[in-house]
Amino acid sequence: MTRLVRAELLKLRTTRLLLWLGLLIMALEVFVIALHVSQDSVSSLAETRNQRDVVSIAAVSALISLILGIVSSAGEFAHGTIGQTFLVAPVRVRVAAAKLLAVAVAGAVLGLVACAFAWGFGALLLWARSVPVHLAAGSSLRLIPGIAVAAAITGALGVGFGALVRRQTGAIVISLVWLLVGEPLLGVAGVERYGPGHVIASVVEAGNQSSDLLGFGAGLAVALVYVAAAGVLGGDVLRRSDIT
Amino acid sequence: MAPLEARGLSKRFGSTTAVDNLTFAVEAGRITGFLGPNGAGKTTTLRMLLGLVHPTGGEALVDGVPYRKLGDPARTVGAVLEASSYHPNRSGRNHLRVLATAAGIPLARADETLEQVELSAVGGRRVETYSLGMRQRLSVAAALLGEPRLLVLDEPANGLDPEGIRWLRNFLRSFAGGGGTVFISSHVLAEVAQLADEVVIIHKAKLIAHESLAALTARTAGGTIVRSPEAERLREQLAAAGVEANAADTDELRAAAAPERVGEVAASAGIVLHELRAESASLEEVFLELTGGEHDEAR
């Protein structure tokens, strides 16, 4: 199992996918942080709560990690590499589990890199506007493990979902449509806080929950149930699939 | 125990029967060609043997067990599937390293196999920059990573230029010469005729022949070529004995009987023979005869 995880990590390191996704996160952070810091007043920016909001854009890494997970599993079907993968590791469920673990690790790293960049760039812009920097405050720092754990979870979720759908573009489109359209509709029944997007947000918030989110522990538990369900269903599809 | 065996192997995709009750065993240390027109079921059969497609009936065995139960598959069997199955942005060397890592094979084997297939100079380049022939060689390198004694190749010459085909032929001969077993599917008969010791032929999902190439070409022809200075008198004697014979040349006949029977007729009539041999059909002729003329050779 260890060698399969190492092989999956090597796969991630030997294409430009991680690099491009990392650059995409940084580009989004530059845009949002610059907009936020330039539009807000100095007095407002001086508040710890608002500085926390400035860097919370790093949570976009959880969404990008979801895409990483989808591409790393469904992409094997797109490129036809799944056949060679199963030739060296014919017990397919092990491959699925290794992929899930590897992408969770890569997702967490992506989350930490996103935080490091957001904190650095945010501090630079705040300093440039002569705003006292409070990014080391507890409420801001708690975002870092929250984002790293959330990105790990969404990466794993993406692996399971990608294996289930087997088409990377389709899986990404379905995920985005769900987050933008499907999940808000859960609000009609008053259960949106249990939706995947909301439970991930509750993990990100890590103790700074608003009323429409589950607590950190409950959110983490429900998120892991989603990961387990996607992993089991995706693994079962892989196990039963004919690789033609 | 046969290195590769199909026992009553069948596969249905919906209402289509891709492989129907196929039974054969590949002998160790030989090159066995797997022939059939496009769509005959060759690729599906190979993928069932390699554990990639689930049979709907029968068994596909490698060293006596289903592929997924092999303890160390990469060291048991090397497979060459489609040449296009690569991540385009990964280098050839890294592609091999990924497979070696997953199989627990030392990473140094990646460079060794690249050298074996003469790709060392381009190992660091992204696969998207490779020609089809280079990708096919990379597939062979991947198959050799675990130094297996069995190679399974699906249409390996597809898209190769003449130099690439010659390289592949020499490589497979050398592999088999070292005691390795090769099972190679193809719809290009000339390619297999130059390589194989045995052939397995399938047509419309069913097995129609499995024997040595020599026996198959002799059996299917079934006639005799005979040369004599008295060819016309021999033809009359053969006709009187109930054996049909046609003049192939001024002193040569093609008789529809075994050489023993033709020789007996000639001896009893006191006719001198200059040559007497079993007629041997080419593999292409055999194939056409067995498949009812359905042949789609690309080259």
CA–CA dist A98, A38 (Å, integer): 44
Give residue-wise pLDDT tens across range B41-81. 888 999 999 999 999 999 999 999 999 999 899 999 999 98
Q: Is A2 on the interface with B (CB under 8 A)?
A: no
Residue B295 domain-assigned (yes or no):
no
* Residue B208 and residue B243 share a domain: no
Residue B227 domain-assigned (yes or no):
yes
Measuring CA to CA, which residue among B182, B111, B194 is closest to residue B153? B182
The total number of structural domains that make up chain B: 2
- Sheet of B206-212, strands arranged across: B77-80, B150-154, B181-186, B31-35, B198-203, B206-212
Residues with pLDDT less than 70, chain A: 206-211
User: Residue B158's pLDDT is what?
Assistant: 76
Whether residue A6 and residue B79 make contact (CB cut-off 8 A), yes or no, is no
CA–CA dist B161, B119 (Å, integer): 16
Give residue-wise pLDDT tens across range B193-228. 778 888 898 888 889 888 887 777 766 666 788 999
Q: How far is CA B55 from CA A28, A37, A96, in A?
A: 49, 62, 22
Residue B255 domain-assigned (yes or no):
yes
Residue B290 domain-assigned (yes or no):
no
* Residue B267 and residue B197 share a domain: no
* Residue B137 and residue B115 share a domain: yes
Q: How far is CA B68 from CA A90, A161, A239, B92, in A?
A: 5, 24, 11, 26
Give A122 to chain B, closest Cα distance, Å. Answer: 34
Residue B283 domain-assigned (yes or no):
no
User: Residue A164's pLDDT is what?
Assistant: 92
CA–CA dist B31, A61 (Å, integer): 53
- Among B40-49, B233-242, B254-263, the minimum mean pLDDT is found in B254-263
CATH of the domain at B263: 3.30.70
* Residue B143 and residue B31 share a domain: yes
| Three-class secondary structure assignment of chain B | CCCEEEEEEEEEECCEEEEEEEEEEECCCCEEEEECCCCCCHHHHHHHHCCCCCCCEEEEEECCECHHHCCCHHHHEEEECCCCCCCCCCEHHHHHHHHHHHHCCCCHHHHHHHHHCCCHHHCCCEHHHCCHHHHHHHHHHHHHCCCCCEEEEECCCCCCCHHHHHHHHHHHHHHHHCCCEEEEEECCHHHHHCCCCEEEEEECCEEEEEEEHHHHHHHHHCCEEEECCCHHHHHHHHHHCCCCEEEEECCEEEECCCHHHHHHHHHHCCCCCCEEEECCCCHHHHHHHHCCCCCCCCC
A90, A242, A243 member nearest B73 (Cβ): A90
* Residue B143 and residue B180 share a domain: yes
pLDDT above 90 as % of chain B: 41
Mapped onto helix, strand or coil, the DSSP state of residue A114 is: helix
CA–CA dist B123, B103 (Å, integer): 20
Give residue B260's identity as a one-letter amino acid code: E
CA–CA dist A157, A178 (Å, integer): 14
Give residue-wise pLDDT tens across range B70-93. 989 999 999 998 766 888 889 999
A6, A84, A90 member nearest B142 (Cβ): A84
* Residue B273 and residue B130 share a domain: no
Q: Which of B199, B217, B235 is the last residue of a domain?
A: B217
Pairing of strands B57-62, B4-13: antiparallel
Q: pLDDT band at B298, cuts 50/70/90?
A: very low
Q: Which of B217, B233, B249 is the last residue of a domain?
A: B217
**From chain B, which residues contact A within 8 Å (Cβ)?**
13, 43-44, 47, 50-54, 67-68, 70, 73-74, 79, 81-82, 84-91, 94, 97-99, 101-104, 142
Structural tokens at position B240: 């009187």
pLDDT above 70 as % of chain B: 93
CA–CA dist B121, A188 (Å, integer): 62
Nearest-CA residue of chain B relative to A92?
Answer: B68
Give B101 to chain A, closest Cα distance, Å. Answer: 5
Section B152-166 average pLDDT: 81
Give the residue numbers spanning the domain of B254.
Answer: 223-278
Measuring CA to CA, which residue among A76, A77, A7, A86 is closest to residue B47? A86
Q: pLDDT band at B255, cuts 50/70/90?
A: confident
* Residue B209 and residue B76 share a domain: yes
DSSP class of residue A195? S
| Chain A residues closer than 8 Å to B102 by CB | 3-4, 7, 85, 88-89
* Residue B240 and residue B183 share a domain: no
Cα four-point dihedral sign A146, A149, A152, A158: negative
pLDDT at B130 over 60: yes
Q: Which of B171, B195, B217 is the last residue of a domain?
A: B217
Q: How far is CA B178 from CA A31, B147, B172, B182, in A?
A: 63, 12, 10, 11
* Residue B233 and residue B112 share a domain: no
Q: At what angle do helices A143-165 and A216-240 cross, to 10 degrees?
A: 20
Nearest-CA residue of chain A relative to B78?
Answer: A87
| Reported ipTM | 0.85
* Residue B269 and residue B165 share a domain: no
| Chain A residues closer than 8 Å to B91 by CB | 14
Residue B135 domain-assigned (yes or no):
yes
Section B252-277 average pLDDT: 89
* Tokens 């890294």 belong to residue: B94
Q: What is the CA radius of gyration of chain B?
A: 23
Pair B226, B255: CB distance under 8 Å: yes
Q: Is A169 on the interface with B (CB under 8 A)?
A: no
Nearest-CA residue of chain B relative to A98?
Answer: B102
Structural tokens at position B297: 């050779």
CATH of the domain at B101: 3.40.50.300
B44, B50, B86 member nearest A81 (Cβ): B86
* Residue B39 and residue B140 share a domain: yes
A4, A11, A81 member nearest B85 (Cβ): A81
User: Residue A191's pLDDT is what?
Assistant: 83
Residue to mutate among A88, A91, A168, with most B CBs inside 10 A, is A88
* Residue B11 and residue B80 share a domain: yes
A6, A16, A17 member nearest B101 (Cβ): A6
Nearest-CA residue of chain A relative to B85?
Answer: A80
* Tokens 């919906």 belong to residue: B14
Residue B62 domain-assigned (yes or no):
yes
Whether residue A14 and residue B97 make contact (CB cut-off 8 A), yes or no, is yes
Angle at A141 between CA A138 and CA A145, to 5 degrees: 130
Q: What is the pTM of this model?
A: 0.80
User: Residue B268's pLDDT is what?
Assistant: 93
Residue B285 domain-assigned (yes or no):
no
User: Residue B218's pLDDT is what?
Assistant: 65
Pair A148, A57: CB distance under 8 Å: no
